[in-house]
A and B are shown apart, each in its own frame.
Chain A
């Protein structure tokens, strides 16, 4: 996308800078994103606006092009790295300035599975959308999930799997939640390359998320619905 080596970010007006940051995010340019974030903050932008208008909006373009087969995993990872660097600057400021809180999510890759690229992307985009995210990492047993649910009392449990052999473990977790009478307390979202909507329904999840953008949208609407019924 962007190929303008001589662009001086600080000389761009706000609108141009935000668009340039979308390009830089697309190209995975970490230092440029950090610089852009700092410039917008110096210009008096609220941290939440920098996050949503520059970073999340840019990453949404990356996500859409990944879904459409234009970008591949390496490019998405580089973009995610750049966004992460921008978020690292914003995170402490967001806490200070009281950005809107959408809800809380516990997320982790299931037992027997060490793949976490998709999970990490979802976690980052959820944070970007205003959710508090507790990441359990990889290879999580049902006990570990339940322990985290009881300790953290999140709105959402997110489970991820990359392998056909490990995805059935999601049902083990959901069935155990049912047995313990705690299933209805949580929204359960699942995702991962070999999953599909049918599988999500079959195991009793509330939603199957084909990518991070879908996860964010689904989480927002389900949490809003949950809060409205309380």
Chain B
């Protein structure tokens, strides 16, 4: 399949294409999931992405996931949810438990990209860090700058980012262009910059497990 574009993934997501096992994911993870699937040659894994911008309203995520799982249930042997808690306060986990589908562990993608265990260890020292992934770096304007109103009201930046001290770019891939864009994002927010290569973190073993599921 052709690689979906980021604006579509932010606004509309990605419809399923067909397969035996469904990965129901956040649009912000589409490129990474497709890369892992490609590397494994797992054509039986289908990917359906909900719009990444759902993250602007985390309380809506559990209901949207439930709707998608319910609609897809009869067409797939197994469904795996590629959302972390994502600010739902445990509600998404409760929904997945009720629906009998497995979801990836962790509080958010910054944590599972870093590796949940490692992230938990460093979290206390990084409470003033703001994270960007590859996707968020590419979609910084659509996801952060404009929704936060900074394009029209830069005076809001200190109100929203006043307590942050650094921007950590968690790089899933080695891309000098993204590195430069992330650095620029840090400068626009008035934050120090740090690049950290994470690769796909815990996402890769989770998808590997889904691919090898006996379903």
A194 touches B58 (CB 8 A): yes
A69 to chain B: closest residue by CB: B57
Q: Tell me the minimal C-beta distance from B105 to chain A in angstroms.
A: 12
Asked if B160 CB lies within 8 Å of chain A CBs, one says yes
Q: Tell me the minimal C-beta distance from A195 to chain B in angstroms.
A: 6
Task: Give CA–CA (A165, B106) in the complex, Å.
Answer: 10
**Given the interface contacts A78-B153, A114-B128, A194-B89, does A165 sit within 8 Å of B123 by beta carbon?**
yes
Annotate A131-154 by CB proximity to B: 1 below 8 A, 0 otherwise: 000000011000000000000000
Asked if A113 CB lies within 8 Å of chain B CBs, one says yes
Q: Tell me the minimal C-beta distance from A40 to chain B in angstroms.
A: 26
- Summarize A's interface: helix, strand, loop or mixed: loop
Asked if A163 CB lies within 8 Å of chain B CBs, one says yes
B87 touches A114 (CB 8 A): no
Annotate A59-83 by CB proximity to B: 1 below 8 A, 0 otherwise: 0000000000100111101100100
Residues of B in contact (CB 8 Å), total 25
A165 to chain B: closest residue by CB: B107
A113 touches B89 (CB 8 A): no
Those of B42-70 within 8 Å (CB) of chain A = 56-59
B87 touches A193 (CB 8 A): yes
Q: Which residues of A contact B4 (CB under 8 A)?
A: none
B127 touches A77 (CB 8 A): no
B91, B124, B127 interface centre (most CB from chain A within 10 Å): B127
A194 to chain B: closest residue by CB: B89
Those of B94-111 within 8 Å (CB) of chain A = 107-108
B91 to chain A: closest residue by CB: A196
B89 touches A164 (CB 8 A): yes
Q: Tell me the minimal C-beta distance from A105 to chain B in angstroms.
A: 21
A73 touches B123 (CB 8 A): no
Asked if A204 CB lies within 8 Å of chain B CBs, one says no
B147 touches A72 (CB 8 A): yes
**Given the interface contacts A117-B160, A138-B163, A199-B89, does A112 sit within 8 Å of B58 by beta carbon?**
no
- Summarize B's interface: helix, strand, loop or mixed: loop
Asked if A167 CB lies within 8 Å of chain B CBs, one says yes
B90 touches A116 (CB 8 A): no
A164 touches B85 (CB 8 A): yes
Q: Which residues of B contact A113 (CB under 8 A)?
A: 127
**Given the interface contacts A78-B153, A165-B107, A193-B58, does A199 sit within 8 Å of B90 by beta carbon?**
yes
A139 touches B149 (CB 8 A): no
Q: Which residues of B contact A74 (CB under 8 A)?
A: 147-149, 153, 156
Task: Give CA–CA (A78, B154) in the complex, Å.
Answer: 11
B163 touches A112 (CB 8 A): no
Task: Give CA–CA (A214, B100) in the complex, Å.
Answer: 35
Q: Which residues of B contact A115 (CB under 8 A)?
A: 163
Task: Give CA–CA (A16, B57) in the complex, Å.
Answer: 36
A195 touches B89 (CB 8 A): yes
Task: Give CA–CA (A200, B108) in the complex, Å.
Answer: 22
**Given the interface contacts A164-B87, A164-B89, does A114 sit within 8 Å of B153 by beta carbon?**
no
B156 touches A196 (CB 8 A): no
Those of A77-129 within 8 Å (CB) of chain B = 77-78, 81, 112-117
Q: Which residues of A contact B59 (CB under 8 A)?
A: 193
Q: Which residues of A contact B124 (CB under 8 A)?
A: 112
**Given the interface contacts A112-B124, A164-B88, A167-B89, does A117 sit within 8 Å of B149 by beta carbon?**
no
Could you pull out 6 A-B pairs where Cβ atoms are within 8 angstroms?
A: A72-B149, A77-B160, A112-B127, A115-B163, A164-B90, A194-B88
Closest 3 CB pairs of A and B: A74-B149, A194-B89, A114-B163
Other A-B contacts than A74-B148, A163-B107, A199-B89, 17 sampled, CB-CB below 8 A, are A69-B57, A72-B147, A75-B149, A77-B156, A77-B160, A112-B124, A114-B163, A114-B164, A116-B163, A138-B163, A162-B87, A164-B87, A164-B89, A167-B89, A193-B87, A194-B88, A196-B91
Chain A residues within 8 Å of B, Cβ to Cβ? 69, 72-75, 77-78, 81, 112-117, 138-139, 162-165, 167, 193-196, 199
